[in-house]
């Protein structure tokens, strides 16, 4: 591929294609507005477009992939969104701890109820068998009632109570499971964005770096495997995508620090 003579036109054509596709398919409602912002801020991006067109070797398919990565990342990983996800991650840890505490308490109460009923000539007519609990919990699930319940009932008839876990043991296992839970992140982009302990626009930078890196290293890449942009180019795109005010704009040295920080976090 030859490098286009008009880099701005080459890059903006890719932006326009993404916008037109979204409008045609009525998808990703935020993308067209972000695309318009990039086009409106052409003067700030002229040098970045030159660098991008060169890095993409003039391949319009690669340009489409890169623009897709820009628009997708800013919609998912803008600072407000990353902060929300970081808070959700922290809340998940809290919820697991609460489940562990409550399940431990439930296990103790279930055991106490069983002891009271077994040591006296009275009971509370509550569930004792795990299958009874399952069947009642699934009473509105007709697939269960037709296909699973008969099999469970047959097992209940074959094996008496000594073969089944007590309800208190089940609650105790739920407690152990929640207590030992480790929060796992399913994809490398989320892992990169949430790698630091505090939220900032650096989350977006790391997410964007990782998203583009994934595209360049995919099994069938449309972007060049040796894709590389200057730090000033990344800064220009990030300033426009996040619509940062002048006092909060990033520059090349900031991007260089973030790229180094990203490598350090990945090596931990």
- pLDDT tier, 206 (very low <50, low <70, confident <90, very high otherwise): very high
State the DSSP string of 187-218: SHHHHHHT-SSS-SHHHHHHHHHHHHHHHHTS
State pLDDT tens for residues 147-156: 999 999 999 9
Looking up tokens 């089940």, which residue turns up? Answer: 170
Domain spans, the chain: 7-77+189-266, 91-179
Structure tokens at 22: 């979204």
**Would you state the pLDDT for residue 71?**
96
pLDDT, one tens digit per residue, over 234-253 is: 999 999 999 999 999 999 99
- pLDDT tens, position by position, 25-58: 999 999 999 999 999 999 999 999 999 999 999 9
The band of 1, judged by pLDDT with boundaries at 50, 70 and 90, is low
pLDDT, the chain, mean: 93
Residue 3: pLDDT above 70?
no
Work out the average pLDDT over 154-172.
95
Q: Cα–Cα distance between 203 and 209 in angstroms, integer?
A: 10
45-103 confidence digits (pLDDT tens): 999 999 999 999 999 999 999 999 999 999 999 888 888 999 999 999 999 999 999 99
Residue identified by tokens 């989320």 is: 190
Q: Assess contact for 15 and 39: CB atoms under 8 A.
A: yes
User: In which band, very low, low, confident or very high, does the pLDDT at 143 lie, cut at 50, 70 and 90?
Assistant: very high
pTM > 0.85: no
- With CA atoms as reference, report the closest residue to 95 among 35, 20, 29, 179: 179
- Burial tier of 94 (Cβ tally within 10 Å: 0-12, 13-18, 19+): exposed
- Taking phi over 0 as left and psi of -120 to 50 as alpha, with beta for the rest, 240 belongs to alpha
């Amino acid at each position: 591929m030859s490098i286009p003579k008009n880099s701005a036109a080459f890059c903006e054509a890719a932006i326009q294609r993404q916008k037109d596709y979204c409008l045609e398919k009525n998808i990703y409602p935020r993308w067209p507005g972000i695309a318009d912002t990039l086009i409106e801020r052409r003067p700030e991006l002229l040098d970045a477009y030159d660098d991008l067109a060169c890095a993409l070797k003039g391949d319009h398919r690669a340009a489409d992939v890169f623009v897709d990565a820009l628009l997708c990342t800013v919609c998912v990983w803008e600072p407000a969104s990353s902060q929300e996800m970081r808070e959700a991650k922290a809340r998940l840890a809290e919820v697991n701890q609460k489940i562990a505490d409550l399940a431990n308490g439930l296990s103790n109460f279930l055991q106490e109820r069983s002891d009271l009923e077994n040591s006296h000539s009275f009971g509370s007519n509550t569930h004792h068998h795990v299958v009874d609990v399952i069947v009642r919990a699934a009473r509105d699930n007709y697939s269960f009632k037709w296909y699973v319940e008969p099999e469970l009932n047959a097992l209940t008839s074959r094996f008496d109570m000594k073969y089944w876990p007590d309800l208190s043991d089940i609650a105790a296992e739920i407690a152990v499971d929640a207590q030992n839970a480790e929060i796992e992140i399913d994809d490398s982009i989320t892992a990169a964005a949430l790698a630091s302990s505090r939220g900032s626009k650096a989350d977006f930078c790391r997410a964007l770096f990782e998203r583009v890196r994934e595209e360049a290293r995919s099994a069938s890449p449309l972007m060049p495997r040796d894709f590389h942009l200057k730090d000033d180019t990344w800064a220009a795109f990030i300033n426009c995508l996040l619509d940062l005010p002048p006092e909060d704009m990033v520059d090349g040295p900031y991007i260089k620090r973030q790229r180094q920080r990203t490598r350090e976090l990945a090596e931990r």
